[in-house]
Amino acid sequence: MNVGVVGASGYSGETLVKLLLGHPLVTLGAVTSRQHVGKPLAQVIPALRGADRGLRFVDSNAAALAASDIELFFLALPHGAAATFAKPFIAAGKKVIDLSADFRIADLATYTRYYGDHQAPELLAQARYVLPELAPADWKRFPIVAAPGCYPTSILVPLAPLLRDGVVTREHIVANSFSGVSGAGRKVEGNYLFVERAESATAYGLLKHRHLAEIEEQLALHSGAPTVIQFNPHLAPMRRGIATTITVPAAPGANVENLYATWHNAYEGRPFIQLLPSGETPDTAFVTGTNRVDLSAVHDVRTGNIVITSALDNLLKGAGGQAVQIMNLWSGFPETTGLV
Amino acid sequence: MNVGVVGASGYSGETLVKLLLGHPLVTLGAVTSRQHVGKPLAQVIPALRGADRGLRFVDSNAAALAASDIELFFLALPHGAAATFAKPFIAAGKKVIDLSADFRIADLATYTRYYGDHQAPELLAQARYVLPELAPADWKRFPIVAAPGCYPTSILVPLAPLLRDGVVTREHIVANSFSGVSGAGRKVEGNYLFVERAESATAYGLLKHRHLAEIEEQLALHSGAPTVIQFNPHLAPMRRGIATTITVPAAPGANVENLYATWHNAYEGRPFIQLLPSGETPDTAFVTGTNRVDLSAVHDVRTGNIVITSALDNLLKGAGGQAVQIMNLWSGFPETTGLV
Amino acid sequence: MNVGVVGASGYSGETLVKLLLGHPLVTLGAVTSRQHVGKPLAQVIPALRGADRGLRFVDSNAAALAASDIELFFLALPHGAAATFAKPFIAAGKKVIDLSADFRIADLATYTRYYGDHQAPELLAQARYVLPELAPADWKRFPIVAAPGCYPTSILVPLAPLLRDGVVTREHIVANSFSGVSGAGRKVEGNYLFVERAESATAYGLLKHRHLAEIEEQLALHSGAPTVIQFNPHLAPMRRGIATTITVPAAPGANVENLYATWHNAYEGRPFIQLLPSGETPDTAFVTGTNRVDLSAVHDVRTGNIVITSALDNLLKGAGGQAVQIMNLWSGFPETTGLV
Amino acid sequence: MNVGVVGASGYSGETLVKLLLGHPLVTLGAVTSRQHVGKPLAQVIPALRGADRGLRFVDSNAAALAASDIELFFLALPHGAAATFAKPFIAAGKKVIDLSADFRIADLATYTRYYGDHQAPELLAQARYVLPELAPADWKRFPIVAAPGCYPTSILVPLAPLLRDGVVTREHIVANSFSGVSGAGRKVEGNYLFVERAESATAYGLLKHRHLAEIEEQLALHSGAPTVIQFNPHLAPMRRGIATTITVPAAPGANVENLYATWHNAYEGRPFIQLLPSGETPDTAFVTGTNRVDLSAVHDVRTGNIVITSALDNLLKGAGGQAVQIMNLWSGFPETTGLV
């Protein structure tokens, strides 16, 4: 299968390109970047020296790409731009896996509140939010798949089945996430300089982080009722990885055995979800470079809370790896093809 | 004034020695270490090359130290050992500032539950827990001062006055802390190797972290009722610093203005407490090397929660700096002498 | 082909196990560790959670392994132990790829001077030092292959062909290397704690670094005469990677064009050697995770020196990756199989 | 004494401001920054929260500053701008300590070759290059002092006396330096982002680093003859610190005892130069936060080379600390006042 990556100059796009170059069942037919047109991939992504198969960046020309024989496009673009590109691709019958926010939120009003005007609201009905281990089975019928973001994946994977099964309450959910700096993207701003971020831990984006929109919409779907969470993101002085710790009151009568039973039911046989024994906590260092989410939980009888911990690589299961996993499932490839 | 440091081979003891060597109003009369007896300070603490005033480590001989003309001892020892040393010092009329847990917990049963048998329970009545900005004014009458730990300081400074003034509820308090690796002490264990901790974020000590004992005892004192919190400590890939984020429901009618008014009342004129505007979050990088706690808070009207963020240097305001601040106040020196 | 890894509890062994588990043309028949017998691989190497194919560590029993149907053994053992294990394996007709120093040095006296008594000197004649891009073609006939160390690879790859072709002099060669901390192995010592190594750059092992033995023996082979170098290793605050900078006087009449011509001749078509344009310097960040060596050089007409820079991943091209590359070539597999 | 800092928005200026605020014998009369006029110092330098004594940035108005009662100005400006500011200050009889390159190079042609046109060549005769431990005694008579850069200090301190006393040759000098990222200044460029620099070691600026101009001019002064060195700077993934390793052939008959004797003669009683025993290597982690240079050397009898290692904090002994040390000496204050 011939696939393309539109907008490959960010960290997610770069990760996706590396994965697709190593994928045994697809051909990387086009990699676009306005900024880098004509340059060999390895000139912009030096990690690919000797391994870019002679590919060069092409212009981000939506019409030309739509007319090509590429069957599936990954969009690694800012929101807004993604929806704009999706239109001609969908019109031309292509499949789209979008890594931006444009198709992550089903409710247009919510999208607008967090991101402003939508560039292709008419396509929302053709899109599905696909966290592969959680999405309703019919998603493959839709031509646009929104790949979830990094923070949402670290929260939804552990929490969604517990809410669905009533193991935890829907009140007083608090999620604190600690993210590597690549989670902020390749922003050339003073705040992201090495000297500023090394030896620095800090919360940011309290109250208004954009990922809240998709987190709460998805939690509501799984819990069956509006669900509000306190989401406190932080930056940690590391390149990759997200560690998320969720505190939520246990439902009456629930305990850690119920909780693990729910997780086992939900994730039995899913290669990228690893359940750690209660008391052993996930560590970003152990998931970096993999497409896994590691999960664990304890029940604090003193407080009545469940404390859940998860870890993933924000550029893999939180971005490019998840997108490839979606492609694998969509195309009927083994789920782990080209992934670790 | 002649002072001594007992047990200076850990990070806290080392920090304390550096501060006392630079302090203009005290003389460092003895620095003890069983392991390093006879060695020049700078041989063990190379940062002090050329600045150790010719001092050498002496043996940790409690009787000899008690008989010396040293007036005040800092104990930078493991719990248990600290209480053992305190006995002869108190018998000899010395002042003691203890950085261990031995005198942090007034309730013996609580101490025993977290730390095992107490080595000098008869001294508990002569000890006070002194977070200088919060301790009741009469503490200077007691010969033993317990300096609070790093996590507790980051939680008590913001939370205690809010509980006392009823700005926040006593229910559903969740504190997530993110600590530099020096917070674990100088433990030569595989888990603390550079290769294991770099690029690693992970929760640890969920349910049973020892600092809970002093945190909850102190919160109860300030709130006037038993107060239970969910405390989730984490390790971050940095050397120093603690960033703490506390989520707690606002009391009915409370808002961010009430909150800042309470903080202003509590901390007006205190040089080491800095209130940041709501919306600006503390960053460990800005407090490292100082004795400050930086504080901020937002009110999330969606959730009804207050989200508080604090940052401090675990080796200064969380250990050695706090001890020197206590000494300054106890001795009638200006509070900031020898501190930044 | 069925292969085994003997001694897989260090960083090199762990890397090797990961590579072999993902290699499409071999089966990992045994992974040994005295310390971890019976444990699932993923319990000791958490990065392998869900990906260890149910394998468990077996005991390091040389006789039992020699009697098994494993055809090729990787030895990731300390020197001394490696030679001891090699004996029964060779007696049983197995192939051995040794990552220790035991078979890296052809001259027994040199070995003894650097490492002490050799445990199997009678096997030296059956061993070859194989840096795949440099080794004489007949190496596949010998049953023991010594895989070069990390520092030597970063020095030999750029320097050996230049000495052979007379592009640089054999005098005044100075190599400074900056290594990630994993280069020191998984040593649980105070010096390798996170707090000690973060924010730390320091030289070590001046005069007596053991890798000198193999570096100079190999340089002499390629230059045709005894060749002495000044080798200054350093630790850098990073997990992986070696950056080496070599200063050497240009031979009379030589220039950067001659130099690159020699490199092109030597490495044309070799997938793991990348020549960067003069003036563009290798960066460890771009080779980490790959089996590459990136090379570059400038000619300083002011000083008459050539300044060569190289970078590689000490755990891949400097250890496990190189070993797999050797296995691929030895077995007739495509050279890059299972490698990036 | 009333002093001012012109251009305080970079890392060196910021460090200088912190030192001067804590200095007991001077008053910080003005801190300028075009970009930050009117803002409290602590708003731009959050490490100074609560400790900026109410100071605000003033405009960089040379005439107004020259007319003030400030006696001594520190220039923490880019080259070119520094010379421009120096003119009215000198005309008004002020003292100037310049941290830029403008007065570091006595030879105008050399300056022009490295930096372009000089903005105040007529002032060169009134300037002296003052590395306090090396400068000829008459420097205090000159109104302009050029404070040496970070790399040069790490090279000149060990090497200058050895060349002067003939302990080492003037040929084949190779200096490799490994610098923390703050050495590059607060440049908001993609190359200095956290994600790019963490886990990265790389050489840069080979052949043409600007610090060569002052290094070689100074070495010639001390050795008494033109002296050319190979200077290979590198970036290390740390915030602060420079580790320099110098390889140079020992002079005939010289050995490590001669070398240390020369160093003792040169630096006896100098508080900021620490000689470590041969075989013990300096570590940036031990000098960070201090104004020290730590030095050590070994004699390699195999190669005939001396290998010298030095370490310093690029923002202190390599910038702001050195400038304060110069001010102390110039003003007759104890040399270590306000420094560690």
How confident is the model over C65-113, as pLDDT tens digits?
Answer: 999 999 999 999 999 999 999 999 999 999 999 999 999 999 999 999 9
A335 Cβ contact partners less than 8 Å away, ≥ 6 residues apart: A132, A271, A272, A325, A328, A329
d(C-alpha B59, C-alpha B193), whole Å:
29
C311 vs D: CB within 8 A: yes
Give residue B128's pLDDT: 98
Smallest CA-to-CA distance from A240 within A287, A200, A182 is with: A182
A190 vs D: CB within 8 A: yes
* Residues in chain C closer than 8 A to A294 (CB atoms): 49
D195 vs A: CB within 8 A: yes
Active-site residue identified among D150, D184, D219, D221: D150
Q: Looking at residues B271-281, what average pLDDT do you find?
A: 97
A12, A15, A194, A313: which to substitute to probe chain D, counting the most D Cβ within 10 Å? Answer: A194
Q: Looking at residues B271-283, what average pLDDT do you find?
A: 98
pLDDT of B263 > 90? The answer is yes
Contact B206 A300 (CB under 8 A): yes
d(C-alpha A128, C-alpha A140), whole Å:
9
Q: For the purposes of burial, counting CB atoms within 10 Å of the CB of B80, is it exposed (0-12), middle (13-18) or buried (19 or more)?
A: middle
Give residue A208's pLDDT: 81
From D187's Cα to the closest Cα of chain A, the distance in A is 8
Spell A283-302 as b/e; 16+ CB within 10 A means b: bbbbbbbbbbbbbbbbbbee
- The DSSP line for B211-258 is HHHHHHHHHHHHHTS---EEEEEEE-SSSS-EEEEEEEEBPTT--HHH
d(C-alpha C148, C-alpha C12), whole Å:
12
* Residues in chain B closer than 8 A to C187 (CB atoms): 193
Sequence-ordered alpha helix ranges (H) in chain A: 11-21, 41-44, 62-67, 81-91, 108-115, 150-164, 194-197, 211-223, 256-267, 284-287, 320-331
pTM recorded for the entire structure: 0.97
Under DSSP, is residue B284 helix (H, G, I), strand (E, B) or coil?
A: helix
Give residue B29's pLDDT: 96
Give this complex's ipTM: 0.96
D197 Cβ contact partners less than 8 Å away, ≥ 6 residues apart: A194, C285, D181, D191, D235, D237
Enumerate the β-bridge partners of residue D55.
Answer: none
Give residue A277's pLDDT: 97
* Residues in chain D closer than 8 A to B286 (CB atoms): 46-47, 49
Nearest to A50 among C47, C274, C289 (CB): C274
d(C-alpha D91, C-alpha D120), whole Å:
12
User: Which residue in the block uniquely carries the two structure tokens 């090396």?
Assistant: D134
C65 Cβ contact partners less than 8 Å away, ≥ 6 residues apart: C4, C6, C30, C32, C73, C88, C89
Q: How distant, in Å, are the alpha carbons of B235, D117, D234 from that of D238?
A: 19, 34, 12
Smallest CA-to-CA distance from D197 within A17, A315, A198 is with: A198
Enumerate the β-bridge partners of residue B176.
Answer: B232, B245
Pairing assessment for the beta strands D95-98 and D72-75 based on DSSP bridges = parallel
Contact A194 D196 (CB under 8 A): yes
Q: How distant, in Å, are the alpha carbons of A93, C158, D80 from that of C248?
A: 60, 12, 36
pLDDT of A174 > 90? The answer is yes
Q: Looking at residues B117-146, what average pLDDT do you find?
A: 97
User: E-assigned strands of C217-271?
Assistant: 229-235, 242-249
Question: How many other C-beta atoms lie within 10 A of the C-beta of residue D319?
Answer: 27
Nearest to B292 among D50, D286, D290 (CB): D50
Give residue A340's pLDDT: 87
- Summarised one tens digit per residue, pLDDT across range C293-308 is 999 999 999 999 999 9
When pLDDT is cut at 50, 70 and 90, the band that residue C226 belongs to is very high
D307: left (phi over 0), alpha (psi -120 to 50) or beta: beta
d(C-alpha B86, C-alpha B103), whole Å:
10
D25, D286, D296, D315: which to substitute to probe chain B, counting the most B Cβ within 10 Å? Answer: D286
- Summarised one tens digit per residue, pLDDT across range D268-298 is 999 999 999 999 999 999 999 999 999 999 9
H/E segment holding residue A293: strand A293-300
- Summarised one tens digit per residue, pLDDT across range A30-39 is 999 999 999 9
Give residue A33's pLDDT: 94
Sign of CA pseudo-dihedral B142, B145, B148, B153:
positive
Contact C143, C130 (CB under 8 A): no
H/E segment holding residue B20: helix B11-21
When pLDDT is cut at 50, 70 and 90, the band that residue D100 belongs to is very high
Under DSSP, is residue A71 helix (H, G, I), strand (E, B) or coil?
A: coil
A102 Cβ contact partners less than 8 Å away, ≥ 6 residues apart: A79, A80, A82, A83, A86, A111, A115, A118, A119, A120, A146
When pLDDT is cut at 50, 70 and 90, the band that residue D208 belongs to is confident
What is the chain D residue with the closest CA to A235?
A: D194
Sign of CA pseudo-dihedral B184, B189, B195, B201:
negative
Residue type for D56, please? R
D271 vs B: CB within 8 A: yes
Contact C32, C99 (CB under 8 A): no
pLDDT of D315 > 90? The answer is yes
d(C-alpha D144, C-alpha D86), whole Å:
8
Q: Report C:224-263 residues touching D (Cβ under 8 A).
A: 228-230, 232, 234, 236-243, 245, 247, 249
Give residue A80's pLDDT: 97
d(C-alpha A83, C-alpha A71), whole Å:
18
Active site residues of C: 150
Under DSSP, is residue C318 helix (H, G, I), strand (E, B) or coil?
A: coil
Contact B49 D292 (CB under 8 A): yes
Contact B283 A239 (CB under 8 A): no
The helix-helix angle for D320-331 and D11-21 (nearest 10°) equals 40
From D178's Cα to the closest Cα of chain C, the distance in A is 7
Contact C186 B193 (CB under 8 A): yes
pLDDT of D266 > 90? The answer is yes
Q: Looking at residues D200-216, what average pLDDT do you find?
A: 94
Spell B117-152 as b/e; 16+ CB within 10 A means b: ebbbeebbeebbbbbbbbbeeebbebbbbbbbbbbb
H/E segment holding residue B282: none
What is the chain B residue with the closest CA to C190?
A: B188
Give residue D340's pLDDT: 87
When pLDDT is cut at 50, 70 and 90, the band that residue C149 belongs to is very high
What is the chain D residue with the closest CA to B238?
A: D238
Contact B205, C248 (CB under 8 A): no
When pLDDT is cut at 50, 70 and 90, the band that residue B340 belongs to is confident
D174 vs C: CB within 8 A: yes
Sign of CA pseudo-dihedral B127, B128, B132, B136:
negative
Q: Looking at residues D82-106, what average pLDDT do you find?
A: 98
pLDDT of B294 > 90? The answer is yes
When pLDDT is cut at 50, 70 and 90, the band that residue C340 belongs to is confident
The helix-helix angle for C11-21 and C320-331 (nearest 10°) equals 40
Under DSSP, is residue B325 helix (H, G, I), strand (E, B) or coil?
A: helix
Sign of CA pseudo-dihedral B154, B157, B158, B164:
positive
User: E-assigned strands of B50-154?
Assistant: 72-75, 95-98, 127-129, 144-146
Q: What is the mean pLDDT of chain B?
A: 97
Give residue B208's pLDDT: 81
Q: What is the mean pLDDT of chain D?
A: 97
H/E segment holding residue B11: helix B11-21
pLDDT of C221 > 90? The answer is yes
Nearest to A195 among D181, D189, D195 (CB): D181
User: Can you read off the two tokens belonging to residue C87?
Assistant: 């004996």
From B207's Cα to the closest Cα of chain A, the distance in A is 6
pLDDT above 90 coverage of chain D, percent: 99
Active-site residue identified among B146, B150, B308, B311: B150
